[in-house]
Amino acid sequence: MMRRFVCAGLLALVACPGVAQSVKLTGDEIRQLLTGNTAIGKWQGVPYRQYFGDDGSTIYAQQDARSALGQWRVDDDRAEYQSIWARDTQWEGWFVMEYAGAYYWVSKSTPPTPFRVVAGQQLVE
């Protein structure tokens, strides 16, 4: 059931005649968007900020929680953002889509999740 929801959400972003179409960012576009910047959004309903260092480090911060330090990279063959965290054993990847001026994390296991990007490291409001 969740898979149908994710596919329906992705199709709504990609194939709606007569409206703006979504665009999957290339590896270079993902790098340009994220490197040295902070993504701001909600993950599973909880506000977050995530900084993407130019050295491949990333910091994930939520209010009233410990920040997490991980690594990030871009897989050019898949054109996806990937990250790995302290307790992970494998890199996990997401496509980055742009639709009507907004960005979305998209994967097979989560619905399209909107975020915006601000310049620099802005982990605190």
Do residues 13 and 119 make contact, with C-beta atoms less than 8 angstroms apart?
no
Ordered domains of the chain (ranges, CATH)? 2-119 (2.40.128.370)
Distance CA 32, CA 117 (A): 11
pLDDT at position 89 is: 96
Mean confidence (pLDDT) of the chain? 87
4-13 average pLDDT score: 43
Question: pLDDT higher for 1 or 117?
Answer: 117
* Separation of alpha carbons 34 and 70, rounded Å: 15
- State the average pLDDT over residues 56-85: 96
Name the token pair of 18. Answer: 């007569």
Whether pLDDT at 77 is above 70: yes
Would you say residue 107 has pLDDT above 50? Answer: yes
Chain segment 33-48, per-residue pLDDT in tens: 999 999 999 998 999 9
Please tell me the distance from the alpha carbon of residue 114 to that of residue 112, in angstroms, as a whole number.
7
> Does 16 have pLDDT greater than 60?
no
- pLDDT-derived band at 19, boundaries 50, 70, 90: low
